Amino acid sequence: MKDTTISERLCLPNQALLFDLDALYVQLQRVKDRRHRRGVRYPLTEILMIGILAKLAGQTSSRAIAEWAQLRHQELAQLFALRCQRMPHFSTWSRILGSAVDPDEIEEVVGRFFARQVNNPLQPAERHLCLDGKTLKGTIPLGESQGVHLLAAYLPKEGVVLAQVQVNGAGSEVSAAPLLLATLDLRGTLVSGDAIFASRKLSLKILQAKGDYLWMIKENQKQMYQDLQTLFEPQLSHPGWSAPPTDFRSASSLDKGHGRLERRRITVSSLLASYAEWPGLLQVFKLERMATNALGETEQEVRYGITSLPTSVGTPKRLLRLVREHWGIENGLHYRRDRTFQEDHSQLRMGHAPHLLALLNNTVIGLFRRQGESNLPQAQRTFDYHFDRALARLVA
């Protein structure tokens, strides 16, 4: 392993965004370079770091990364003490990203880097981990319906991806989820997912790993879905007959923004816990959502869910927050990869290159979020400005 560090050469100004790039650099040195040693001009660790720096500076594609590095070839070569003073050609970047590294290996390394930066949970369900998949649309061949599909385990509060794996498609997510979660420490962690992940087998594995689950339920779990509908449907009372007792508890929220008024109400019960054949089931809930736009048009939605959280931990108010927090993986991760990094516009399909570019995007989002940055385009412009100043000082 090399003992060269970035921090000894590069000191960003006080106004710059500060990242622990030195620790990330050390972790990336553990990744095995699968290229033949003969003819290798550019060390793998340095190439990966240059790619991350380019993404931090706002470069969205592999071609843009290559051009950005070419414009700064002198400073980058001096920064990383490269023997070759020129930066790789775009085709070289494509080959390196496509075949020089095992994406699962680098996912493990980067996930370990971020895991060390977040606090370990001390209480049950203190950490929230979201499962969701995303298809890279630019990799879908003409006439086909499936491209590269990645399943991610994301911490919405911290804004970091702890693990990610490529699967055959959205239908393969539930079979890949146990393998993905097996690489993580689930103690004190609540794992949440959409209805596709609601399976008894996955629920049992999470419980065995000392974690908890929260699933949405749809018609794919027919019996459970019907039981939830029956439980929460209004009870009609007749003269001389009283409605059966219930233990319903509820909480509600009201949000305004973007010209919309959104009301959410959750009703929680423990009545199914005693006889439902589902591992560790303690509570079920009904979520009602009503959104009214500026034109006065109203949209209503009813969803159901189950969880292993006890009433002492999973209060109605907290369950309402957790359900909404789960969709942070869409807004905080997938949306940013699409809009800020233009991930779906990339048509690079060579080998593992699509997976590696998505991994670089996850890494940059995690770095920015760990610094408290919510406006990523602005953060990229700020980083690019101060990074240019730092490189100019370096050369001087």
Residues 294-332: tens digit of each pLDDT: 888 889 999 999 999 999 999 999 999 999 999 889 999
Looking at residue 11, its pLDDT comes to 47
User: Mean pLDDT over all residues of the chain?
Assistant: 88
C-alpha span between 298 and 144 (Å, rounded)? 37
Q: What is the pLDDT of residue 338?
A: 93
Question: Rounded to a whole number, what is the largest CA-CA distance in the chain?
Answer: 92
pLDDT exceeds 90 at position 22: no
> Residues 98, 76: contact at Cβ < 8 Å?
no
Q: 203, exposed or middle or buried, with CB in 10 Å at 0-12, 13-18, 19+?
A: buried
Best CA proximity match to 266, nearest among 289, 287, 247, 291? 287
Cα–Cα distance between 4 and 7 in angstroms, integer?
A: 9
Dihedral angle of Cα 82, 86, 90, 94, to the nearest 10 degrees: -20
DSSP codes joined into one string, 29-74? TTSPP-S-STT--S-HHHHHHHHHHHHHTT--SHHHHHHHHHHTHH
pLDDT tens for each residue of 222-255: 999 999 999 998 876 666 666 677 899 999 999 8
Nearest to 358 by CA among 377, 371, 344, 375: 344
For residue 76, give the H/E element and its range: helix 73-79
Give DSSP secondary structure letters for 299-357: EEEEEEEEE---TTTS-HHHHHHHHHHHTHIIIIIIHHHHHTS-GGG----STTHHHHH
pLDDT at 52: 93
Q: Rounded to an integer, what distance in angstroms lies between the CA atom of residue 307 and that of residue 273?
A: 10
H-helix or E-strand spanning residue 204: helix 200-208
Per-residue model confidence as pLDDT tens digits over 93-150 = 888 899 999 999 999 999 999 999 888 887 888 999 999 999 999 888 766 778 899 9
Q: Quote the pTM value.
A: 0.89
